[in-house]
Amino acid sequence: MRISGERPLTDVPRAVWLALLAALVLQIAWQWAQPKPVASAAALSAPPPVAALRVAGLGEPVVLAQLTTLYLQAFDNQPGISIPFRDLDYRRVTQWLETILALDAAGQYPLLMAAQVYSQVPDPARERLMLEFVHQQFMLDPNRRWRWLAHAVIMAKHRLHDDQLALRYARDIARLAPTAPAWARQMHIFILEDIGEVESAKILLGGLLASGEIKDERELHFLTERLEDLKKRRKIITPGEKMTHIPFSS
């Protein structure tokens, strides 16, 4: 049975069927031949101006700083692709970290990300950029940010093997962060010892003990022994010795 006016399928010419079949085969073949879609990494853009973000934050800059942090953290995992840290534009990364700190100056997490996450790439130029960012931010608030510069000291010495950079950072902790613990403020003395500047280390250590600044009996005993050891040794320490005698605790 067929509806009046309709033409039965058996009446369709064989040439039409063949043409339709050929078109279907060509369509399938064309789709199969197309390259598979590939996810591409979007470049990290510059952060919005801090003033605009403060307005958008509706009086909650700390919350906005946390959301901005989450955005930056998630950027290396885009849909369909994971971006290695070494492929990120690190100057843009530091701009975002600086923006987050501008929104929440008391926050420590951006400095942790710079010192312990983004600085771990096997790329000395990027490592130096992150360590210098930590140093610049330390200079703005030494007494709250000294621990991240102390970490940068160790990174500079043992990953970059740049003793002078490590010494510069350590000296700034001693000079600008009076509330930092004694071990952090004494790092420059032990670096001098490690790189063979024994006489300089001896003078600084002797001056520190003579100042009466050290009150803790155990620390006083430890440093006094170190000074006596330096006085006896009279030999140059092999550059590159580990600073294993630095007690890293706050």
Query: Is the same domain home to 127 and 235?
Result: no
Quote the CA–CA distance of 44 and 46 in Å, as a whole number: 7
Please state the separation of Cα 106 from the chain's center in Å. Answer: 18
Query: Is the same domain home to 237 and 158?
Result: no
Classify 77 as helix, strand or coil. Answer: strand
User: Is the residue at 11 inside a domain?
Assistant: no
User: Is the residue at 33 inside a domain?
Assistant: no
Query: Is the same domain home to 56 and 152?
Result: yes
Question: What confidence tier does 105 reach under pLDDT thresholds 50, 70, 90?
Answer: very high
Quote the CA–CA distance of 107 and 144 in Å, as a whole number: 10
User: Is the residue at 18 inside a domain?
Assistant: no
User: Is the residue at 116 inside a domain?
Assistant: yes
User: Is the residue at 1 inside a domain?
Assistant: no
Question: What confidence tier does 101 reach under pLDDT thresholds 50, 70, 90?
Answer: very high
Quote the CA–CA distance of 240 and 237 in Å, as a whole number: 9
Query: Is the same domain home to 128 and 242?
Result: no
Write the secondary structure of 126-187 as one string of H (helix), E (strand) and C (coil): HHHHHHHHHHHHHHHCHHHHHHHHHHHHHHHHHCCCCHHHHHHHHHHHHHHCCCCCHHHHCH
- In this predicted model, what pLDDT tens digit does every residue of 7-44 receive, in sequence order? 565 665 666 556 666 666 566 565 556 555 444 445 77
* Residue 142 clears pLDDT 80, i.e. is over it: yes
Domain count, the chain: 2
Q: Retrieve residue 42's tokens.
A: 């979007």
Query: Is the same domain home to 155 and 185?
Result: no
Q: Quote the longest CA-to-CA distance of the chain.
A: 117
End residue of a domain, out of 166, 195, 214: 166
User: Is the residue at 9 inside a domain?
Assistant: no
Higher pLDDT, 58 or 70: 70
* Residue 50 clears pLDDT 90, i.e. is over it: no
Query: Is the same domain home to 153 and 52?
Result: yes
User: Is the residue at 14 inside a domain?
Assistant: no
pLDDT of residue 122: 87
Query: Is the same domain home to 131 and 198?
Result: no
Query: Is the same domain home to 129 and 68?
Result: yes
Q: Retrieve residue 70's tokens.
A: 């989450």
pLDDT of residue 128: 95
End residue of a domain, out of 133, 166, 199: 166
Range of the domain at 205: 181-250
Higher pLDDT, 234 or 159: 159
- In this predicted model, what pLDDT tens digit does every residue of 59-84 receive, in sequence order? 788 888 888 888 888 876 655 555 67
Quote the CA–CA distance of 11 and 196 in Å, as a whole number: 100
Query: Is the same domain home to 160 and 191?
Result: no
The model's pTM? 0.68
Q: Which residues pair with 82 in a beta bridge?
A: 77
pLDDT of residue 111: 94
- In this predicted model, what pLDDT tens digit does every residue of 164-222 receive, in sequence order? 999 999 999 999 999 998 888 888 888 887 777 666 666 666 666 666 666 666 766 66
Query: Is the same domain home to 85 and 121?
Result: yes
Q: What percent of the chain has pLDDT over 70?
A: 58
Please state the separation of Cα 146 from the chain's center in Å. Answer: 16
Contacts of 58 (CB under 8 A, 6+ apart): none
Q: Which helix (H) or strand (E) holds 14?
A: helix 14-33
Q: Quickly count: other Cβ atoms within 10 Å of residue 195's Cβ.
A: 21
Query: Is the same domain home to 131 and 241?
Result: no
Query: Is the same domain home to 51 and 156?
Result: yes
Among 10-14, 78-82, 114-118, 155-159, where is mean pLDDT lowest? 78-82
